[in-house]
Structure 1
Amino acid sequence: MTTVPRFIDLTAPQVAALPADTLAVLPLGAIEQHGPHLPVSTDFVTASDAAEAAVRAVAHAGTASVVLLPGLAYTKSDEHHWSPGTIWLSWDTLMRTLVDIGRSLQTSGITRLLFVNGHGGNSALGQVACREIRIRFGLRTFFAHLSVPADQGGRTSAAAELGMGVHGGHGETSLMLHLRPDLVHMEHAQRRVPEGLLNYEHIGFGKPVSFGWTSDDFGPDGYIGDPTGATAEHGKAIFDAAVGRLAEVIVEASRFVTPK
């Protein structure tokens, strides 16, 4: 198996000697409640494992110079602030952290940075950080989802979830059944789909008008979706597709230039 090129395994001179346009890949996860059936590490596990597999694939193919940064576990999870198990950073703490990472990478001679995001709550702030790092330090920055969340226009929700499988539902549960089945408690999985949102034409998950919410708005269990039909086989299919897509993104980001 091809060795994953990890930034932290290099010496300082080796970092300085990396080829021009080497892409640094930083997984963004979360430590937050995912209901009674999934571990609080869900987003960290899925983002980190997918990013590692994609970096390994690119390194094996030799199609880009890429290094994997250690994943960031603690991020912006304040929509789950109410629950035991959630460890979250304020928006300004996370913003400063991401910007400081960009500054440090510039000092190391890195000119390209790809965030691989496994938690929807990071999306808006991550995109702002990409531009801030670009403006301050000149890095070419990119923000990719493991899969675009359903509440942000993605088509990742199972049919039974009516487009509302945004947290701890069929997809995430399937992924964890594939990656870490020892941490999944399917005996506690139930359907938790807020069908009342169907009464609104414009406002809702994946609709033109978003709304501020916290996960306990939808009930005390803290998850939103239907994990009951999740399977490891479906999780493998989701994971393999995500890894293949991320590998293509890595290659593209390593050569991307802004069109004139």
Structure 2
Amino acid sequence: MDLAARTWTDVAASAPTLALLPVGSTEQHGPHAPLGTDHLAAAAVAETAAERYEEQADEAVVVAPTIPVGVSEEHRGFAGTLWVSEDTFRAYVAEVVESLAHHGVEDVVVVNGHGGNVAALREVCGRLTRDDVAYTLPFTWFDAVSSDLPMGHAGARETALLRHVVPELVREERVADARSEAADRWGEWVAGVNLAYDTDAFTENGVVGDPDAGDDSDGEALLSGAAGALCELLAAMDER
């Protein structure tokens, strides 16, 4: 159930108790992938899982509007990147969940597409659960799938998923250059410490990994795998 596309009477009639809240970021993803990569991926996984779970469990699943800006200051060296503080991000997520709970939603999964949001989400979801607002869990799609494709940044996994979900937004003519100028790994590590706070300190074009290592079929498998993992989580929440 796409909440933004429904009327209030539609929602009242279905009285949903389960919701998905996609969150991501608006940040650089190299010269070939859109700034909205993370929130587009989160929304696609949430929508696919909601459809699948509604068929499996015969239960309405609300998909809330996506939160498109996250904790992304590490990408500030690249034009177009937007970010908020962890405090602002946590507060926004918390208040959206509180409003869902006000209308009878008891269980919420925050479907995340950005690594920089992970720590803040773990904290805020725990607080919402402990305070009995709603049973709230964080789910990061790229951590939930098994794949031979490495994650990187704007690398194999993300580019493959984009090629399946929004192929028109991938600048294919730039992929070769993105690949040739990409960094091999995230950060500069010494003694277990990342010396670089911002990505422009270790990658000139914002890419980590090989964006051409995965194609549309890989992206389809990633989307299906992530949606399947999310459905498993929803079933476990229901049992709990």
Give the shorter-chain TM-score range.
0.7 to 0.9
- Name the Cα RMSD after superposition: 2.7
**Aligned partners of 1:175 and 1:238 also within 8 Å:** yes
**Aligned partners of 1:65 and 1:254 also within 8 Å:** no
Aligned match of 2:101:
106
Partner residue of 1:46 out of 36, 41, 57: 41
The amino acid of 2:125's aligned partner reads: C
Structure 2 CA distance, aligned partners of 1:197 and 1:77? 15
Partner SS, residue 66 of structure 2: coil
Aligned match of 2:20:
25
Tell me how far 1:17 sits from its aligned partner: 6.3
Q: Does 1:173 align with 2:159?
A: yes
Q: Cα deviations across residues 193-226 of structure 1 (Å, max 9, x unaligned)? A: 33697985x62xxxxx667632112122112111
Tell me how far 1:242 sits from its aligned partner: 1.2
Cα–Cα, structure 1 residues 14 and 211, in superposed 2: closer, same or farther, change >3 Å? same
**Aligned partners of 2:23 and 2:39 also within 8 Å:** yes
**Segment of structure 1 superposing worse, 168-177 or 229-238:** 229-238
Cα–Cα, structure 1 residues 254 and 7, in superposed 2: closer, same or farther, change >3 Å? farther
Q: What pairs up with 1:1-260 in 2 under 5 angstroms?
A: 5-8=1-4, 9-11=6-8, 14-15=11-12, 18=15, 22-148=17-143, 158=149, 165-189=151-175, 190-191=179-180, 192-194=182-184, 203=192, 213-256=197-240
**Segment of structure 1 superposing worse, 72-81 or 140-149:** 140-149
Structure 2 CA distance, aligned partners of 1:250 and 1:218? 38
**Aligned partners of 2:45 and 2:227 also within 8 Å:** yes
Structure 2 CA distance, aligned partners of 1:68 and 1:16? 16
**Aligned partners of 1:25 and 1:68 also within 8 Å:** yes
The amino acid of 1:7's aligned partner reads: L
Tell me how far 1:126 sits from its aligned partner: 0.4
Structure 2 CA distance, aligned partners of 1:102 and 1:234? 33
Q: Cα deviations across residues 205-259 of structure 1 (Å, max 9, x unaligned)? A: xxxx667632112122112111132311111111111112212222222332xxx
TM-score by length of 2: 0.86
**Aligned partners of 2:187 and 2:195 also within 8 Å:** no
Structure 1 CA distance, aligned partners of 2:224 and 2:146? 17
Structure 1 CA distance, aligned partners of 2:188 and 2:75? 23
TM-score by length of 1: 0.80
**Aligned partners of 1:148 and 1:156 also within 8 Å:** no
Aligned match of 1:206:
none
Structure 1 CA distance, aligned partners of 2:216 and 2:139? 24
Task: Give the share of equivalent positions with the same residue, in percent.
Answer: 29
Q: 5+ residue gaps in structure 2?
A: none
Structure 2 CA distance, aligned partners of 1:182 and 1:196? 27
Cα–Cα, structure 1 residues 219 and 195, in superposed 2: closer, same or farther, change >3 Å? closer
> Number of paired residues?
235
**Aligned partners of 1:186 and 1:228 also within 8 Å:** no
Cα–Cα, structure 1 residues 127 and 188, in superposed 2: closer, same or farther, change >3 Å? same
Structure 2 CA distance, aligned partners of 1:51 and 1:14? 18
Partner SS, residue 117 of structure 2: helix
Structure 2 CA distance, aligned partners of 1:116 and 1:143? 6
Q: 5+ residue gaps in structure 1?
A: 204-208
